Chain A
Amino acid sequence: MTWVSPGHIPSTVEDEGRHYIMKPLTAKGKASFQKHATILFLVAPAFILFTTFVVLPVLQSGYYSLFQWKGLGPLNNFQGVGNFIRAFKDRIFRIALYNNVKIVIFSLIIQLPLAFSFALLVARKKYTGSVFFRGLYFFPYVMAEIVIGIIWRFIYHPQHGLPTLFSQWFTADKMEIGLLGDTNLAFWAIFIVVCWKYIGFHMILYIAGLQGVPEELEDAAVIDGASKVQVVFHIIIPSIRNTIIISVFLCIVGSFNLFDIVWAMGQGGPVHSTETLVTYLYNFGFKRFAFGYGSAIAVIIFLICLVFNLFYQKYIVGEAQK
């Protein structure tokens, strides 16, 4: 038996005595093979990179999460789901999870509606200063999160920060206000910064969506008798439904992955009041050389995002496309 290249088409049935293990390709088959080979060739680099830097690390994390492991030496202390049980039994883990859920909920209630309101104001260039304000609102998004965290630490400084300044200007007792040191207020202080950072991003998404809504639609609704609020709820919001779906998705997934701002502003403190899942992973996983446990936390975050994504794709995105 001799292998013959697929493109070789014999002139006679018995070509040099070779036996063919597959049918010789017709011109159509040759074209189809070339087409698939081209596709494979073009997709391969991205596929390899994705597999190497996303899929494999996730699988590796999943593997490590089953062990108690300090990051060095062999993996020989198998825990099974022990790390996961430990996480859910840990009060601080539950605080972190609760904080993430709070961020999701309040981002959906406060951050996105504010972003949408700003977008409504600046989407149409006919308003004076709209282009300037677009840039202004978007500016925080382009700054690095660590930088933002450090800047706001100064803004919240108990002696020299803005809250203390306002207290000295406008209150009788002129108290020093250290928001980041107060277990009741630190979370909200950080949440304000998260909103400040991401409102611009969502605003830009909504502006892009709004620019796909013809002004004639709004005119038609106004003539039909709709007030400005009714135009927004009956016409504009349904028209940018797909944009809203994307914005909500990014907001929720982003909220579960929040780390840099929180870390820069307090590393999850004071007393874990601003702990999030990722800061918890860092504090209780990597800093304490508990890589197995840290991997378990990473797997939990991954599974939360995965389940949410599957649910969202099926019930929200799928319904929107119908």
Chain B
Amino acid sequence: MANVILENITKVYPGDVKAVDNANIEIKDQEFVVLVGPSGCGKTTTLRMIAGLEEITEGTLTIDGKVVNDVPPKDRDIAMVFQNYALYPHMTVYDNMAFGLKIRKFPKADIDARVKEAAQILSIGNLLDRKPKALSGGQRQRVAVGRAIVRHPKVFLFDEPLSNLDAKLRVQMRAEISSLHHRLKATMVYVTHDQVEAMTMADKIVVMKDGLIQQIGGPLELYNSPNNLFVAGFIGSPPMNFIEGRVADNSNVFDAVDFRLPLTSQKASLVASYKGSPVIFGVRPEDLTLDPKGTEDNAVTGSVLVVEQLGEQLHLHVEMKDATIIAKVPPQTKVAVGDKVFLKPNMEKAHFFDKETEQVIR
């Protein structure tokens, strides 16, 4: 068993800077958990507290049932892969991977077997005699992963390991890390600012902002049922569209500046207490459909600003008075810049958010 439990974890730096505020996360054995959020949200600090590289100001960290707040990193049975690889420049690939085992006085034969096993898994057997400066970015990343694998740790920690790679290599390495997770059946905690990585790799995602956890859940749960405006806008590419408006006083209609949308009975009951109040309407690009018969009284209305042809779909950037939204439509759609369009939203999948608290209205 290698579960990791963070209970009320807080990190405060000198000057009362709260980097992580009361984080509660449960990472189950063999789970792949991704901490995702913008720069400065506290995700790396959280990871470093799990690793033991940062002191925990308040709260309890448990690994495999044992409280490890005061346990040094080397005794936590964790391995870490860093953003800039952190390979020892004066050592060969073999020595880089063997270093941790040599320090722990493993027998030479064991070290050799483990290094070669890891090298074979990562297809870097032919690089063992090279030094890091003679490796490409992708090769260095594999060596960094290999250095973690040889330790057979309980928990793997990844700190934005793909952020220094080019887009194509990132896609490839994402798949390799996912495959590694299944092969090793290990608990992995992965930090990234890229929501695509989070969505494609995670069993569970922890979305963070300004040191606070916004939501924890599976990829689909976060995608379909975001708790607040931040999660809704952060997860998904292109991001969710937000349109400010108000719920009409005396009818079940969402009233935006340029158009009005009739509400389904389900949505009407959700926002019943917001009649006359401002709310934010959120709808994903793929939940908007072009309606040639639409009007300002029943569809999102605007004029086409940009048409992006992606091959499998068309992205329409539609400009309204107060906002610009994106709609995904079939690639053969005949539409040009400047056209006035009417987009029917799928109200079942749309969301309303409280304008003040930014929480989803449920």
The contact of A224 among B52, B53, B100, by CB within 8 Å, is B100
Report which of B78, B84, B90 forms a contact with A223, defined as CB distance below 8 A: B78
Complex formed: what's the CA distance from A293 to B225 in Å? Answer: 93
Encode contact with A along B34-59: 1 for CB under 8 Å, 0 otherwise: 00000000000000000111000000
Do B147 and A224 touch across chains, with their CB atoms under 8 A apart?
yes
Flag if A226 contacts B86 (CB, 8 Å): no
Interface 9-mer from A52-60, A84-92, A180-188, A234-242: A234-242
Q: Does A306 contact B (CB under 8 A)?
A: no
With A220-B82, A224-B74: A241-B100 Cβ-Cβ less than 8 Å: no
Q: Please give, as numbers and ranges, the residues of chain B lying within 8 Å of A238 by CB-CB distance.
A: 88, 90
Give the contacting residue for B103; candidates A217, A219, A226; CB below 8 A.
A226
Q: Is A216 an interface residue (CB 8 A)?
A: yes
Per the bound structure, the CA–CA distance linking A225 and B84 in Å amounts to 19
The verdict on B79 contacting chain A, using a C-beta distance below 8 Å, is yes
Residue in chain B with minimal CB distance to A238: B90
- Kindly identify, within residues 207 to 265 of chain A, every residue whose CB is under 8 Å from any CB belonging to chain B: 214, 216-217, 219-226, 230, 234-235, 238-239, 241
Nearest-neighbour CB distance to chain A for B88, whole angstroms, equals: 6
Task: Give the CA-CA distance A221 to B52 in the complex, in Å.
Answer: 13
Contact of A214 with B90 at beta-carbon distance under 8 Å, contacts A220-B80, A223-B53, A223-B74 already known:
no
Q: Tell me which residues across on chain A come within 8 A of B100, comparing CB atoms.
A: 223-225
Please tell me which one of the listed residues B51, B52, B89, B103 contacts residue A239 in the complex, with CB atoms under 8 A apart: B89
Residue of A nearest to B84 (CB): A216
Chain A residues with Cβ below 8 Å from B230 are none
Q: Once bound together, how far apart are the Cα atoms of A108 and B189, in whole Å?
A: 46
B104 at the interface (CB under 8 A from A): yes
The reply to whether B99 and A234 form a contact with Cβ atoms under 8 Å apart is yes
B86 touches A216 (CB 8 A): yes
Which residues on the B side are within 8 Å of A222 (C-beta)?
53, 72-74
Known interface pairs A217-B88, A235-B88, A241-B90; A225-B74 also in contact (CB < 8 Å): yes
Q: CB-CB contacts of B325-350 with A at 8 A, as 1s and 0s?
A: 00000000000000000000000000
Cα A238 to Cα B96 with chains together (Å): 13
Determine how close the nearest CB of chain A comes to the CB of B118; give it in whole angstroms: 14
Residues of A within 8 A of B88 (CB): 217, 220-221, 234-235, 238-239
Contacts of B51 in A (CB 8 A): 219, 223
Distance (whole angstroms) from the CB of A280 to the closest CB of chain B: 42
User: A234 vs B104: C-alpha distance in the bound complex, in angstroms?
Assistant: 14
* Residues in B whose Cβ lies below 8 Å from that of A239: 88-90
The reply to whether B99 and A219 contact each other, CB–CB distance below 8 Å, is no
Residue of A nearest to B103 (CB): A225
Q: Which of A220, A221, A222, A239 lies at the interface centre, i.e. has the most chain B CB atoms within 10 A of its CB?
A: A220
Contact of A219 among B72, B82, B89 (CB under 8 A): B82
Chain B residues with CB under 8 Å of A217's CB are 86, 88
B99 contacts A224, C-beta separation under 8 Å: yes
Residue on A with the closest CB to B82?
Answer: A216
Q: Taking each of B86, B87, B88, B89, which has the highest tally of chain A beta carbons within 10 Å of its own beta carbon?
A: B86
Q: How far is the CA of A117 from the CA of B77 in the complex (A)?
A: 30
Assembly CA distance A223 to B79 (angstroms): 7
Closest B residue by C-beta to A231: B103
Q: Digit string of B56-98 for contact with A (CB within 8 Å is 1, else 0)? A: 0000000000000000111000111011101111100000000
What 1/0 mask marks residues of chain B from 303 to 318 whose CB sits below 8 Å from any chain A CB?
Answer: 0000000000000000
Q: Which of B52, B82, B103 contacts A230 (CB 8 A)?
A: B103
Cα of A224 to Cα of B53 in the assembled complex, Å: 12
Question: Is A226 touching B53 in the complex (CB atoms < 8 A)?
Answer: no
- Distance to closest chain A CB from B285 (angstroms): 38
Contacts of A223 in B (CB 8 A): 51-53, 73-74, 78-80, 100
CB within 8 Å of B: which A175-219 residues: 214, 216-217, 219
Q: Is the CB of A214 within 8 A of B84?
A: yes
Q: Are B103 and A224 in contact (CB under 8 A)?
A: yes
Whole-angstrom CA separation of A133 from B51 in the bound complex? 31
Q: In the complex, A241→B89 CA distance in Å? A: 11
**Which 6 residue pairs of A and B lie closest in terms of their CB atoms, listed nearest first?**
A224-B100, A220-B86, A216-B86, A225-B74, A238-B90, A225-B103
Q: Could you jot down 21 A-B contacts, CB within 8 Å?
A: A217-B86, A219-B53, A219-B86, A220-B80, A220-B82, A220-B87, A222-B72, A223-B78, A223-B79, A223-B80, A224-B74, A224-B103, A224-B147, A224-B151, A225-B74, A225-B100, A225-B104, A226-B103, A235-B88, A238-B88, A241-B90
Given contacts A224-B151, A225-B74, 7 further A-B contacts (CB under 8 A): A216-B82, A216-B84, A220-B82, A220-B86, A220-B147, A223-B74, A226-B99
* A residues with CB within 8 A of B: 214, 216-217, 219-226, 230, 234-235, 238-239, 241
Chain B residues at the A interface, C-beta cutoff of 8 Å: 51-53, 72-74, 78-80, 82-84, 86-90, 99-100, 103-104, 147, 151
